Structure 1
Amino acid sequence: MLPLSLSWGFGAVVVLCWSSVWPQVRSALSPENEVPLRPTTWLPEGKITHVKLPKGRTVRLYFILKKKTPGMSVTVSPCNLPIEWSLAARTLKDNPLKSLQWSTKKSTPEVWWRGPGTEEKIHSFSGNSVDTYTGHNSPHASIYIVRLRSKQQSSKATVYLHDGVGPSGAFPLLPKDTHVHTLGVGMTSVTLNWSPSPSLTTKKGYEYCVLVNSKSNYPSVCAAQESIRRKVEDIQNRNEKKRRMTPWPILKEWWWEQWDSYPDPQNTDEAEELQCVCKGAENVCTVSELLPDTQYYFDVFVMDKLNETSVAYTGTYARTHEEARPDIITLREGELRWVNFPERSFNSEQFFSFRPRGWQQSGLLTLQSCGKDDKVKVTVSSKGQVLESQKVGGDLVQIWLQGSPSYLIHLEREGTPTKTTLVALPAGLTASVKMQTSSAYHKRGIPSLPSTLQIKSFNKLRTCNSVTIAWMGTEERSLYCVYRRKLDGQEAESGKALALNAPCLGPESRSDTERVLCKYFQELNPRRAVTTAVISGLEPGMAYVFDVYLMRRWGIPIKYTSKMVKTRRDC
């Protein structure tokens, strides 16, 4: 075994020997085994190259052209975010070593960049739209350099190199007018058109695809694809679901299957805002099932199904019309309103609003139909929530309002209107429904109604100039008013007089001369709540129609069924 000092000395000698022969060994290495100073990516001709752009880093692509090549074109398509890209031609002063065999495009030694030479900037662009440079081949250029950079955040782009003069044929062509035009805008639909693409008029294998969303226009298919991918990721991150991310489909699967590869729609409601419709060769499209009063953005892409490429028209936007808002009539406290539906109108509807007074925010809504054949429905809602919905007929409808500062009352007539719907009123008006709203102070529910609205007359108590009638009351203290009307001989015989007074007609339709008495009545036991009245001052042998109205503090008066009674002729 050698001593430690001798071993160190032997090692030093070996290192010195190897260092003396290193330059000769390095120069003899083949290019395939050398490690370049910076990574070299060659840009192939006639093929779409996908490039990832890390934030703030410059990505370089290199390509060379044969000396006899007359021209070239480079197309760069940013994906969603703006990027910067430039094209430069580098000319070497001396030819590279023949041993490098750079035509193999496997690696490029450092001599390409360390050797003396000049670089000329040919083209530069900044933005998020597709940009194409077309030019002649420089006879002195040794190599071309494409530099791409994304400043905002990491992004993607595609680069396409065409070797030759004229269109490459890899991308569809756009017409002179590249704008998408709006033909018509409705409440839930928008009609678009655009100038035909020359590619569709000369060849097959192309089609138009329309993209609709409510966020922004997209300059390319890749931009739309990246946008929805980010939305899916954001939704999954917000929901904190550790679910395996489905790899995003390639362009062919994603576009030509019209986005059937969406993730689970239950978790991607926001992502579904992107809607794709492919229309073939038609350059007119009507997008339907949109939301009213919403702004939408529309993009049209010409798709080359053979090469799997696309170009974008200049997108447009439009706002759908808002829904026709009905007139809402404000009801005043205790206001009695006659609601009229036009005879020739089908499914008519009217809207009213009411704000109860007082801190309790309680009130009473009463309605009554004026026509036998009229079918009216009332719906009461507050803050978009339906509180009550029911039919309105000849019987009184009472709806208790409580707990909301305001109410929306919707009256809707269903079915076909009839001629017997409208009832004539004293002032020459006509009405279908009678309605009244009032605030109910210190009340906890709907007022009670009589057990029956029939009026009874007593034959034994009937005289030549008086009759006795009775009716049921309620346990609440209320005012009852009795009206009478004398009938002539024909009316009494035909019996039509009872049909003249519609159920909805109240004391406001009667003359003061017809009122004979008004009295208060209250009975805590509903079974014994019977009150009577003796009507005197009548003529012998005459027929009279008697009406009783229950006058309440809240709600419309309640009309009892009319009762016809004849006085005795001989007493």
Structure 2
Amino acid sequence: MALTRHSNRMATVLVLFWVTPWSLVQSASAPENEVPLRPNTWLPEGKMTTVVLLRGRTRRLFFTLRKTPDFAVTVSPCGPPMEWTLAARTLKDKPLKSLEWTTKKSMPEVWWRGPGTEERIHSFSGNAADTYSGPTVPHASVYILRLRSKQQSSRATVYLHQGPGTSGAIPQIPADPQVHTLGVGMTSVTLSWAPSASFAGLAQKSYEYCVLVNSGRNFPSVCAALESSKMEEDKKRKEKKKRVTAWPILKEWWWEQWEADSEAGTDLECACRGTESVCTVSDLLPDTRYYFDVFAMDRLNGTSAAYTGTAARTHEEARPSVATLREGELRWVTFHGRGSGTDQIQFFSFRPRGVQQSGLLTLQSCGGRDKVKVTVSSKGLVLTSQAVGEDLAQIWLQGSPVYVISLEREGTTAAKTSSVALPSVKMQTSSAYHRRGLPSLPSTLQVKSFNRLRGCNSVTLAWMGTEERSLYCVYKRKLEGDASTAPCLGPESRSDTERVLCKYFQELNPRRAVTTAVISSLEPGTTYVFDVYLMRRWGIPIKYASKTVKTRKDC
């Protein structure tokens, strides 16, 4: 059920709990010019009364009863544990009416200070809602309800009912008051509770269940939850004044959603949801402990009753498997799935050796038309992210003890046609102990042959090198079918019989870094495909573009 459906209605109900006009707790018979010296007031019957409790001070409420055999008083603390007592006072002589209005004392105080005897009939200490119900005290002149909060100033709600049985104004909680957990998922929790007897019959139209979710604690009443919310709002308001920039704050309380739908917050599904006693709360965070409270609300009388709340921790997210890359290991990564999803991303970790914590990651896309995105992160922070194609990609790693490398397939080419090769990536990680950056690459990967130096049994090849001392190896094969060799086909995949020579080369001037090689022992009139590889200490060997040359037939 959508949260906003009951927003305006629930906001009105909660306001009734939070703001009770002072006139409700004043004597209806008091003259307009009376000024009470102490906050002693008459307690109205059949109305939910909010009482302000100052820390360490006793608040007294007085009431008299009609000719009734039974009565009940319900007190719900809105904050820390409090004490309250109920006493019946019998006066020897009823105060004269002239004394009541000629003294500067309030009318309840005149009754309280008059001569008589007092009998305590009930006492309670705690932060849970408590109800006293019993017979009236014979010959009692006035009943005195004393409330006291020792820890801090807070509030409490009081409800007085005269007559036998329940008032019907406060919803009844069943014999099993516990909120039960039916199921727990990664982002949702399903709750259930025994139905309230008040929800049966014609009166059910004014009742509904409300579910409160927060990450702090359970609350014994709506009053306690509202008081805690007010304190949190006051705290946030004070912190906001101290800040230069207003940072967004995750809102814990649902009624902030009810009172201001336009504000950003957590849009949970369950709030006030009618008379159903099963509820699924969704849009929760994984691996987080939440507290759930259920309140039976009476919209007509503005009253509520609390079930015994419960708590549950959502399941943690399914963590992807992370493969460890060994030093210098050459890894082929293939994406077998189609379309998008978790099977289109793979994770690896690499821990470079040495104190410098430096390393080199090289990648090359092989097969398939879809791009592959590589993301390198450390300690939860993304260091770099880029797309990998057929050109060699080099990523310098420095300053972290361990790196997480994710490879993600982009696009859906393979999903459109099954004839396209599945994308794969050739990857290698190496620790670079003494390097300070990426290895230099040749200015071009083209191989040139010289027609004037082409004979029946030999050809001359030339290619660009680098200013770093490196090993270059030349491989040959007779032309059969495709003239070019796959870009990812490295020397590790070539036969030793195809290797014709290897040589070291270095030129400090990159513009003059040209090296040549004479390939001999060839057959006349035969077409050969030559491949040159730059063999490096770090990273994947670099393959030059394949060069096709045909030896002369007649010399």
Task: Decide: shared fold, TM above 0.5.
Answer: yes
Deviations 1:138-194 (A, max 9, x none): 223222221212122222111111111122122122233322222322222222232
TM-fit CA distance, 1:346: 3.9
Tell whether the 8 Å contact from 1:360 to 1:403 is kept in structure 2 after alignment. Answer: yes
Amino acid at match of 2:378: S
Amino acid at match of 1:124: S
Residue of structure 2 in register with 1:9 after alignment: none
Residue of structure 2 in register with 1:75 after alignment: 74
CA distance in 2, matches of 1:518, 1:140: 117
Which runs of structure 2 are paired with 1:319-398 in the superposition (5 Å)? 319-344=313-338, 346-347=340-341, 348-398=344-394
TM-fit CA distance, 1:311: 1.4
CA distance in 2, matches of 1:343, 1:90: 83
Which runs of structure 2 are paired with 1:228-267 in the superposition (5 Å)? 228-239=229-240, 241=242, 258-260=257-259
CA distance in 1, matches of 2:356, 2:285: 38
CA distance in 1, matches of 2:111, 2:464: 115
Tell whether the 8 Å contact from 1:73 to 1:134 is kept in structure 2 after alignment. Answer: yes
Tell whether the 8 Å contact from 1:258 to 1:278 is kept in structure 2 after alignment. Answer: no
TM-fit CA distance, 1:48: 1.9
Deviations 1:59-80 (A, max 9, x none): 22222223x3121111111102
Tell whether the 8 Å contact from 2:95 to 2:110 is kept in structure 1 after alignment. Answer: no
Gaps of 5+ in 1: 1-30, 243-253, 423-430
TM-fit CA distance, 1:374: 3.6
TM-fit CA distance, 1:274: 10
Tell whether the 8 Å contact from 2:470 to 2:535 is kept in structure 1 after alignment. Answer: yes
Amino acid at match of 2:457: N
CA distance in 2, matches of 1:522, 1:533: 14
CA distance in 2, matches of 1:289, 1:156: 33
Residue of structure 2 in register with 1:317 after alignment: 311
TM-fit CA distance, 1:344: 4.9
Residue of structure 2 in register with 1:150 after alignment: 149
CA distance in 1, matches of 2:522, 2:111: 131
CA distance in 2, matches of 1:376, 1:51: 66
TM-fit CA distance, 1:331: 2.2
Q: Which of these two proteins has the greater Rg computed from alpha carbons? A: 1
Gaps of 5+ in 2: 1-29, 244-252
Residue of structure 2 in register with 1:473 after alignment: 465
TM-fit CA distance, 1:287: 2.2
Q: After superposing the two structures, state which structure 1 stretch, 178-187 or 361-370, moved more.
A: 178-187
CA distance in 2, matches of 1:181, 1:97: 55
Residue of structure 1 in register with 2:25 after alignment: none
Structure 1 residues 121 and 314: alpha-carbon distance in aligned structure 2, compared to 1, 3 A threshold: same
Structure 1 residues 39 and 195: alpha-carbon distance in aligned structure 2, compared to 1, 3 A threshold: closer
TM-fit CA distance, 1:406: 2.8
Residue of structure 2 in register with 1:191 after alignment: 190
Q: Residue 434 of structure 2: which of 435, 442, 450 is its match?
A: 442
TM-fit CA distance, 1:522: 1.8
Tell whether the 8 Å contact from 2:69 to 2:135 is kept in structure 1 after alignment. Answer: yes
TM-fit CA distance, 1:101: 8.3
Deviations 1:272-293 (A, max 9, x none): 8999822233333322222211
Residue of structure 1 in register with 2:46 after alignment: 46
Structure 1 residues 550 and 256: alpha-carbon distance in aligned structure 2, compared to 1, 3 A threshold: closer
Structure 1 residues 213 and 567: alpha-carbon distance in aligned structure 2, compared to 1, 3 A threshold: same
SS in 2 for 1:225: helix
CA distance in 1, matches of 2:34, 2:488: 103
Deviations 1:429-481 (A, max 9, x none): xx811111122233332222222222222333222222222222122221100
Q: TM-score, normalised by structure 1?
A: 0.80
Asked whether 1:178 is paired with 2:177, we answer yes
Deviations 1:30-66 (A, max 9, x none): x999999976422221122221222222222222223
Residue of structure 1 in register with 2:396 after alignment: 400
CA distance in 2, matches of 1:97, 1:387: 84
Amino acid at match of 2:225: A
Residue of structure 1 in register with 2:456 after alignment: 464
Structure 1 residues 462 and 261: alpha-carbon distance in aligned structure 2, compared to 1, 3 A threshold: closer
Which runs of structure 2 are paired with 1:67-146 in the superposition (5 Å)? 68-92=67-91, 94-96=92-94, 99=97, 107-108=107-108, 113-117=113-117, 119-146=118-145
CA distance in 1, matches of 2:550, 2:536: 30
Residue of structure 2 in register with 1:537 after alignment: 521
Which runs of structure 2 are paired with 1:157-306 in the superposition (5 Å)? 157-202=156-201, 203=203, 204-239=205-240, 241=242, 258-260=257-259, 277-306=271-300
Residue of structure 1 in register with 2:58 after alignment: 58
Residue of structure 2 in register with 1:23 after alignment: none
Residue of structure 1 in register with 2:8 after alignment: none
RMSD of Structure 2 on Structure 1 (CA): 3.3
Asked whether 1:516 is paired with 2:517, we answer no
Residue of structure 1 in register with 2:22 after alignment: none
Q: After superposing the two structures, state which structure 1 stretch, 363-372 or 197-206, moved more.
A: 197-206
Residue of structure 2 in register with 1:496 after alignment: 482
Structure 1 residues 111 and 50: alpha-carbon distance in aligned structure 2, compared to 1, 3 A threshold: closer
SS in 1 for 2:259: coil
CA distance in 2, matches of 1:366, 1:34: 88
Q: TM-score, normalised by structure 2?
A: 0.83
Q: Residue 539 of structure 2: which of 544, 555, 560 is its match?
A: 555
Deviations 1:308-344 (A, max 9, x none): 1111121111111112212222323222222232245
Amino acid at match of 1:235: K
TM-fit CA distance, 1:106: 6.1
Tell whether the 8 Å contact from 1:36 to 1:110 is kept in structure 2 after alignment. Answer: no
Amino acid at match of 2:328: G
Residue of structure 2 in register with 1:24 after alignment: none
CA distance in 1, matches of 2:35, 2:444: 106
Asked whether 1:451 is paired with 2:452, we answer no
Which runs of structure 2 are paired with 1:399-438 in the superposition (5 Å)? 399-416=395-412, 417=414, 420-421=420-421, 432-438=424-430
SS in 1 for 2:200: helix
Tell whether the 8 Å contact from 1:363 to 1:438 is kept in structure 2 after alignment. Answer: yes
Q: After superposing the two structures, state which structure 1 stretch, 381-390 or 231-240, moved more.
A: 231-240
Tell whether the 8 Å contact from 1:36 to 1:108 is kept in structure 2 after alignment. Answer: no
Tell whether the 8 Å contact from 1:187 to 1:292 is kept in structure 2 after alignment. Answer: yes
TM-fit CA distance, 1:240: 5.0
CA distance in 2, matches of 1:196, 1:165: 24
Tell whether the 8 Å contact from 2:375 to 2:407 is kept in structure 1 after alignment. Answer: yes
CA distance in 2, matches of 1:341, 1:556: 20
CA distance in 2, matches of 1:260, 1:155: 23
Structure 1 residues 452 and 517: alpha-carbon distance in aligned structure 2, compared to 1, 3 A threshold: same
CA distance in 1, matches of 2:419, 2:229: 58
Tell whether the 8 Å contact from 1:76 to 1:131 is kept in structure 2 after alignment. Answer: yes
CA distance in 2, matches of 1:160, 1:193: 28
CA distance in 2, matches of 1:330, 1:45: 73
SS in 1 for 2:386: strand
